[in-house]
Amino acid sequence: MTATAPVAPGPRPAARRPGMTLPGPARLLRLELRHNAMLWMLPVALALFWYNGYREIMALPPMWNLRAMTLQNRLLLDLAIPATGAAAWMGSREGRRNVADLVVGTARPRWARQLATWAATTAWAEVACLACVAVVYVMTARQASWGGPLWWPAAVSAAGVPALTAIGFAAGAWFPGRFVTPLVTIVVFFGLGFGTQAASGDHSYWQISPLTAGAFDIGAAPGVATFYRYLPDLSIAQVMFTAGVTLAVLGALGASTALNGPRLRSLAAVIAAAGLAAAGTGVALAGTGRLDPHGMIVIPALHDAASDQPVRYTPACGRTPVPVCVHPAFAVFLPAMTAAVGAELTEVAGLPGAPARISQVPEVYQQEPQNGITSLAGVPGGSAFILTDQVPGEPGATSAQFAGDLQDTLGLQLIREVILGGNASAAAARPSQAQLAVIAASVRPGAVWLGPSAADVSAPEISGRRLLALSGPAVRAAHRFAALPPAAKHAWLAQHLAALRAGQISPAQLP
């Protein structure tokens, strides 16, 4: 050791240009960023997201609403354990490393020191969060046929990260024992999971959970935030809540010890109080939510009426005898749709009562008690149809189911409109056996209803009568008609539709 120290030419920090010196807090932050446990947890966090969230999200159809809202459902859950655990670990660092006496005797307030460590942890956790968002959004941008990124779901997730790290860090700082890190991590993860299970109805306070994207029983549905804008009401309340939790916890950290001095403690207490107020306001606002007809949560105090206007779009139409037009977000399903109902379209094209084209319209929702939600529009009829909520790519939805749903709804709707005439009086009338036979034979699942196990199959109703209510001759007639190619069916209907509608055709007269 040198007593009088001419500064020897040893290792020196890199020379800095004049004016480039970082201020003390920035230097402290830079040190903390380099040595943060969250840096080591980044690969773990990204791997967990890839395994759990990313694969599920990418399996969804390339629709912005589906993927963004599912991202919000998943991302924080995947990040909760690495982020909260790393933050608790860093918070307990001074206790674990036996440096308490060293750091307590320094001038910089304890809160400033802690905030630097917390900020570094949060910065890396946000890097993980934003990286996950970026990957999902970039991939979706390449695949989606319409629309653009929904930023509010990403914003809610990003705002949730500081809350997770704040809770973890504070727990570790206050209780630097060996059990605290795993326990606080589990409790936070449990709380997030519990929050998603406890919501009930559109005005539940539990929907403040940052994992909740939209109405609980609808969630990420294809038709939500497609025809109408994504409403940020609930997202704003959630951001308010998570930001409030962050401020409250960090403020409590600063106010909880006399080591920070009276002025700083007062400031910390004010920040904590403001945070509590913000979080409480967010929760209260969530409790005023109501389900709007388009499937999203409206919070009156936060709602902008301009958001209620439908989004303008140019429909994507198939090239079929009766064009089927869908919202461009659903364009990727158009080939499957036209394949599913192509026969019906060929059969009815140009016939009296057949629409010139069929256009998709949005579903209309209504909140029922508890978590029940009903769709009010049903089968709109005429030239409008509502696409099923389960599109291929969603969990549990297959292409075969999608085709079957379309035939059950759109195909049946088309045939019924043409055969029965499509007006109110026709809908109220009891269809004849011949009419039912033609309808059953024209809709492809009708082949199932007419099969040996028809009695076991749940058939849709036509004017209050199930298609199964066919007598023996009508079943035979339906089989004969079903065997005809669509063009032949079309030709026969072109000649006999009026008589069929008038009830003048018997089953025996069907070809």
Partner 1 sequence: MNVDITDLTRRFGRNQAVAGVDLQAGPGVFGLLGPNGAGKTTLLRMMATVIPPTSGRLRLLGCDPGAYGPRRDVRRRLGYLPQNLGYYPGFTVVEFVEYFALLKEMPAARVPAAVATAVERVDLGGRAKAKLRTLSGGMLRRVGIAQAIVNEPELLLLDEPTAGLDPEQRVAFRALLRDLGQRATVVVSTHLVEDVGAACSEVALMDQGKIVFHGTPAELTARGTEHGTGDAPLERGYTAVLAAARS
Partner 2 sequence: MTAGAIRQAPWPALRLVRLHAASRRLPAAVALLAACAVGLRFTLFWHWDAYGALQLPLIVEAGCAAVIAVTAGSPFGDPERATGRWLPFLRLGAAAALTAVAVAALTAAGAGAHLSGGFPDVLRNVAGLTGIGLLCAVVLGGPLAWTGPLAYLLVSVYGLYTDWHPPTLSTPLIWPARPPHDLGGALCAAVVFAAGLIAIAVRGAREPDGG
The option from partner 2, partner 1, none interacting with 103 (CB < 5 to 8 A, set by class) reads partner 1
In angstroms, give the least distance from the CB of 162 to partner 1.
23
Residue span 219-258 as binding mask against partner 1, x where in contact by CB under 8 A, dash where not: ----------------------------------------
Number of Cα atoms under 13 Å in the Cβ half of residue 166: 21
The option from partner 1, partner 2, none interacting with 77 (CB < 5 to 8 A, set by class) reads partner 2
Considering the complex, state which of residue 31 and residue 183 has its C-beta at the smaller distance from partner 1: 31
From candidates 101, 452, 456, 458, binder to partner 1 by CB under 8 A: 101
Considering the complex, state which of residue 100 and residue 141 has its C-beta at the smaller distance from partner 1: 100
Structure tokens at 431: 């269809």
The option from partner 2, partner 1, none interacting with 357 (CB < 5 to 8 A, set by class) reads none
Closest CA to 279 of 208, 356, 383: 208
395 binds partner 1 (CB under 8 A): no
From candidates 55, 108, 357, 430, binder to partner 1 by CB under 8 A: 108
Give the burial class of 287: count Cβ atoms within 10 A of its Cβ; 0-12 exposed, 13-18 middle, 19 or more buried: middle
The option from partner 2, partner 1, none interacting with 11 (CB < 5 to 8 A, set by class) reads partner 1
**CA distances (Å), 100 to each of 95, 103, 110, in order?**
6, 5, 11
**CA distances (Å), 484 to each of 119, 347, 392, 441, 489, in order?**
72, 11, 30, 9, 6
The option from partner 1, partner 2, none interacting with 193 (CB < 5 to 8 A, set by class) reads partner 2
How many C-beta neighbours within 10 Å does residue 317 have?
16
Give 107-111's long-range contacts (Cβ < 8 A, gap of 24+): 108/24, 108/28, 109/259, 109/260, 109/261, 109/264, 110/257, 110/259, 110/260, 111/253, 111/254, 111/260, 111/264, 111/268
Three state DSSP letters for 221-262: CCCCCCCECCCCHHHHHHHHHHHHHHHHHHHHHHHCCHHHCH
In angstroms, give the least distance from the CB of 397 to partner 2.
10
178 binds partner 1 (CB under 8 A): no
Task: Find out whether 67 and 49 touch, Cβ atoms under 8 Å.
Answer: no
Q: What does the alpha-carbon distance between residue 337 and residue 323 come to, in Å, rounded to a whole number?
A: 11
The option from partner 1, partner 2, none interacting with 44 (CB < 5 to 8 A, set by class) reads partner 2
266 binds partner 1 (CB under 8 A): no
314 binds partner 1 (CB under 8 A): no
Structure tokens at 16: 């800095």
Name the strand (E) or helix (H) holding 81.
Answer: helix 64-91
Question: Interface residues with partner 2 (CB under 8 A)?
Answer: 44, 48, 51-52, 56, 77-78, 81-82, 85, 89, 96-99, 177-179, 181-183, 185-186, 189-190, 193-194, 197-198, 395-396
Contact window for partner 1 (CB under 8 A) among 3-11, 219-227, 357-365, 387-395: 3-11
Query: Rg of the chain over CA atoms, in angstroms?
Result: 31
From candidates 47, 59, 99, 508, binder to partner 1 by CB under 8 A: 99
16 binds partner 1 (CB under 8 A): yes
In angstroms, give the least distance from the CB of 178 to partner 2.
5
The option from partner 1, partner 2, none interacting with 182 (CB < 5 to 8 A, set by class) reads partner 2
User: Which residues have CB under 8 Å from 221's CB, separation 6+?
Assistant: 65, 66, 214, 295, 389
How many C-beta neighbours within 10 Å does residue 203 have?
16
Structure tokens at 280: 């409480």
Considering the complex, state which of residue 183 and residue 483 has its C-beta at the smaller distance from partner 2: 183
In angstroms, give the least distance from the CB of 52 to partner 2.
4
Considering the complex, state which of residue 101 and residue 456 has its C-beta at the smaller distance from partner 1: 101
Structure tokens at 113: 């020191």
3-state secondary structure of 204: coil
The option from partner 2, partner 1, none interacting with 67 (CB < 5 to 8 A, set by class) reads none
From candidates 17, 98, 178, 495, binder to partner 1 by CB under 8 A: 98
Farthest-apart Cα atoms in the chain, separation: 119
**CA distances (Å), 294 to each of 213, 299, 381, in order?**
14, 14, 19
Considering the complex, state which of residue 109 and residue 223 has its C-beta at the smaller distance from partner 1: 109
3-state secondary structure of 188: helix
Considering the complex, state which of residue 32 and residue 78 has its C-beta at the smaller distance from partner 1: 32
Residues touching partner 1: how many (CB under 8 A)?
38
The option from partner 1, partner 2, none interacting with 424 (CB < 5 to 8 A, set by class) reads none
- Give the bridge partners for 228, in sequence order: 310
Site for partner 1 in 24-53 (CB under 8 A): 24, 27-28, 31, 34-35
3-state secondary structure of 397: coil
Task: Find out whether 409 and 379 touch, Cβ atoms under 8 Å.
Answer: yes
Considering the complex, state which of residue 263 and residue 319 has its C-beta at the smaller distance from partner 1: 263
Q: Which stretches of the chain bind partner 1, using CB under 8 A? A: 1-5, 7-8, 10-13, 16, 21-24, 27-28, 31, 34-35, 93, 97-109, 113, 261-262
